[in-house]
């Protein structure tokens, strides 16, 4: 894109296409029922996801939901119907069939189910998201014994308020806040003071 050129904002899919996505979700659930010879509860399918993810299976307490990004579906409808729908249904089915702690999100059980669905087991897509509304969250610089980490604002505030401690997945070292300059440290201090008062 040239300097000064604007990107046209993608409009989310409408009700007719949402219905197609819901029907495809149902088809994969029915297929999973035949594969596992058991019934799966029908969970809500929402079109409220924003950002860079095309879909998400989410668990909140005892509630489970499949969420789709209507903007990304609008830009790449056929691709998402083919790839994202079975991807998220497979997450739900694997969650129901196998114990939660013993199965990785994109582990063997998930990959096997994706193969049985006849779907691509790739976990990310490499398509342009120009025109798709993006959330932007500031990140904060943290350091452990082996590398620099970028931590979300939510996790940063939890760490600063001493509610949580985060460790590196590689070296298991404690992540320590490492602002790039004094101005950044002062800005965070002021924001923390504002949130407390």
Mind listing the pLDDT tens digit for each residue in 72-127? Answer: 999 999 999 999 999 999 999 999 998 677 788 899 999 999 999 999 988 777 77
What is the Cα–Cα distance from 41 to 29, expressed in whole angstroms?
A: 9
15-117 CATH: 3.30.2010.10
Q: Which is higher by pLDDT, 87 or 182?
A: 87
Confidence of residue 2 (pLDDT cuts 50, 70, 90): very low
Which residues of the chain are in CATH 3.30.2010.10 domains?
Answer: 15-117
Q: Is the pLDDT of residue 35 over 50?
A: yes
């Amino acid at each position: 894109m040239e300097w000064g050129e604007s990107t046209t904002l993608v409009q989310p899919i409408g009700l007719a296409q949402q219905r197609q996505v819901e029907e495809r979700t149902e088809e994969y659930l029915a297929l999973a029922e035949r594969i596992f010879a058991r019934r799966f509860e029908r969970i809500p399918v929402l079109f409220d996801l924003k950002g860079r993810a095309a879909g998400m299976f989410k668990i909140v307490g005892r509630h489970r939901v499949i969420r789709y990004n209507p903007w990304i579906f609008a830009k790449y409808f056929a691709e998402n119907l083919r790839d994202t729908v079975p991807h998220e249904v497979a997450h739900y089915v694997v969650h129901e069939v196998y114990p939660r702690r013993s199965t990785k999100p994109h582990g063997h059980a998930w990959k096997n189910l994706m193969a049985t669905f006849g779907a691509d087991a790739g976990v990310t897509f490499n398509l342009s998201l120009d025109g798709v509304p993006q959330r932007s969250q500031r990140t904060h610089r943290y350091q452990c014994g082996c590398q620099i980490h970028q931590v979300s604002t939510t996790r940063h505030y939890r760490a600063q308020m001493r509610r949580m401690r985060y460790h590196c997945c590689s070296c298991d070292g404690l992540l320590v806040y490492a602002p790039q300059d004094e101005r950044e440290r002062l800005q965070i201090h002021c924001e923390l003071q504002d949130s407390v008062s």
